[in-house]
Amino acid sequence: METWMTVWKVVFIVVLAMFALLSIWVTIGGFKDIRELFAAMDAAQQEAEQKKNQNP
């Protein structure tokens, strides 16, 4: 039982620490990804409208 207790203590602390770091990284990186996603969609939308105007 002592071994399992130690295992779960280590797993819990290590995983939470990793998740805290991942959360910070994803929060910053995800914001950049959203901006890029919208920029790409804006460009695609403009391109579609231009094509529509050229070939009514």
Partner 1 sequence: MQDTAAAVLGQTNFTPFDWVIVLVYLSISLVIGLFVRKYVVDMSNYIGAGRAIGTCLGIATMTGTEMGLVTVMYSAQKGFTGGFAAFHIALVAGIVTFLVGISGFIVAKLRDTEVLTIPEYYEKRFDRKTRILGGIMLALGGILNMGLFLKVGSIFIVGVTGLSAQGWALPIVMSTLLILVLVYTTLGGMFSVVVTDYIQFVVLSMGLLVATGIAIQFIGWDHLFETVASQMGSAGFDPLTAEGNFGTEYVLWMAFTAGLVSCAIWPTAVARALAAKDSTTVRKQYMLSSVSFMVRFLVPNFLGIAAFVYISTQAPDLKALFFPGEGGQAVNNLYAMPALLGRMLPPGLLGLISAAMIAAFMSTHDSYLLAWSSVITQDIIAPLRNEAMSPAARIKCTRICIVAIGLYILYWGLAYKGRDDIWDYMAVTGAIYFTGSFAVLLGGLYWKRASSTGAFMALLSGIFAVTGLGPVQALLGWNVSGERIGLATVLLSLVIMVVGSLLFPDRAEADQPVENQNMPQLAEEL
Per-residue tokens: 34: 């959203």
Which of 4, 51, 55, 56 touches partner 1 by CB under 8 A?
4
Cα separation, 1 vs 16, whole angstroms:
23
Instruction: Give 42 or 56: the residue with its C-beta nearer to partner 1.
Output: 42
Asked whether position 47 contacts partner 1 by CB under 8 A, the answer is: no
3-state class of 56 per DSSP? coil
Cα separation, 41 vs 16, whole angstroms:
35
The contact set with partner 1 (CB under 8 A) reads 1, 4-5, 8-9, 11-12, 15-16, 18-20, 22-23, 25-34, 36-38, 40-41, 44-45, 48
